Chain A
């Protein structure tokens, strides 16, 4: 564990010095993510010009939800997104060999090697918006609610990572240039909508099969309305199930890796 921690510190050091080499790009990316946040907030601001409730939430409650998914997205962009973006190239070019022969878990190495320093600035931005949305919430809340929200968002990040990884892994079999990562980003919109709008089989899809609704909507719901024990059990079981599924498929994928480039 200590060895992995030390290794990760090296990743951080390397990533920051790399980011500083391309300062213009560094700045552009911060602005890009800032615009993404503004667009997301504006979208709901415009919708609230025409309605008082979306998915049962008022505008200030919705701001907590938006801040929650923006925070998860920023953490994902900082820690894993860049790594998974390059993942298909490693498989198709046969570069995975270099990761397999190293004395560390290849999944750890491939998922966390590149820390996106510019996106880290956006974690600060998203975090500030998160604090603002909580601070300006007019209803009283307890520290337990706040800690619960935070813990569930960390779990949400884990779910987001697992789904993303499961969308990229098929590259082992399809040898395509991007896997299903474009589909993942399209499906990711489900994370940006309150779970109460999903009904019937769509609800099953987004709370069990591709549990995007558990990433930010359930945590926000925990903070705003509280969750039943059954809901918390549901989040825990889906998270554990997803982690196990990822581990199983990863092992299977490695067995079918041919090492030859395409």
Chain B
């Protein structure tokens, strides 16, 4: 075990992924900056998936994608969450739980729909047992399509959301010209 750990300490880390600037711009216009900052906690709710999206979400935490390096982490409690990440269709039997999870989150909060099912029901669109995608129950800010989306696509989408949240760099304050101190009148 220690040999493997040592090998990895010596190996070079892969280059960090960058968010797509065009996506960041669009998201900034549509979602707008909030007071959330850059270190965001994610609460995942599977609302009726085939478990494919969960496999790829778990993969975002592996050594290759390492979601944590961007300040993003998964949390077990909606009370600690900044992002509600929904996978799967909004199955009728999960609607109440999904709405409750959203209601339990402190504001402001963002909602991300991951996978074609969460986007609009995917292949299950039109089934009487579902209420469409995640948007059928909660207001969605970002969709990451794919069946399932790859870990790289999920990381890219979440990164863009983080970047869009960051406040625009403030312009440097204009300095007042320095005046020579006046001597008090004699």
Query: Are the chains A and B members of one assembly?
Result: no
- Name A's B-contacting residues (CB within 8 A): none
- Name B's A-contacting residues (CB within 8 A): none
